[in-house]
Copies of this chain bind each other. A is one copy, B any other.
Amino acid sequence: MEPKETVRIEGFSDAVFAIAITLLGTDLRVPPPGSPGLIANLLGQWPEYLSFLSSFGTIAIAWIYHHKLFALIRRADHTLLLLNCLLLLGVTVMPYSRKILAEYVGSPDVRVAAMVNDGTFILTAVFFNLLWRHASAHSRLLDSRADPHAISVLNRMIAIVPLLYLGSFLLASVSAVASTGLNLVLVAFFAIPKQLDPNLPGT
């Protein structure tokens, strides 16, 4: 059997996902020493940690599904490389939009900041769709052993993701905390994929 052509795309993507997810931690603020004490200060920063967990989980889930898709993709063409770079653009911007959200906690603009953050999630989800639509529409890019049922399940599943984040975007216009919390719920939802479809392939 021919060697898998996508090894380097996967390696490059893994590195971008890994750096983006680790940079989330470097943006967390250390509260300055002083009253009312470290624990109270850390607890008072809970919106910062909520947005960190939400973005960490979202990038982790995005990586897991990137992994699932490329387990089915065997060959790459120029368009696939470009669409993958667009997807990585979305991932790269996520730590920035989370930093905006964290910076605006307590400001009247916090809901707008949450909408900007959700906007990068929607964009990334759209790029995910374009990538997978291109790959699944060109059977020569796919592994010949790929299960057609698994492909159609993934098609349906990925198609609804932008709509879910659109819901979070609309919710952010009412409450930034509710929208960030919903994003965490979506992470949990995708972490347990059998809820979506009992026939979704395991890995």
Contact = CB atoms under 8 A, between A and B. Distances in A.
Interface of A: 5, 8-12, 14-26, 28, 30, 32-34, 37-39, 42, 56, 60, 63-64, 67, 70, 75-78, 80-82, 85, 88-89, 92-93, 95-96, 99-100, 103-104, 107, 109, 112-113, 116, 191, 193, 202-203
A9 to B, nearest CB: 8
A21 B30 contact: no
Interface SS of A by simple majority = helix
A82 B189 CA distance: 12
A202 B77 CA distance: 6
28 contacts: A5-B203, A8-B10, A10-B11, A11-B14, A12-B14, A12-B17, A15-B18, A15-B19, A20-B25, A21-B92, A22-B92, A23-B26, A28-B96, A30-B99, A30-B103, A33-B103, A33-B107, A37-B109, A38-B112, A38-B113, A38-B116, A39-B112, A60-B88, A60-B89, A64-B85, A78-B193, A78-B203, A80-B203
Given A38-B104, A42-B116, A12 B18 contact: yes
Nearest to A104: B33
A124 to B, nearest CB: 13
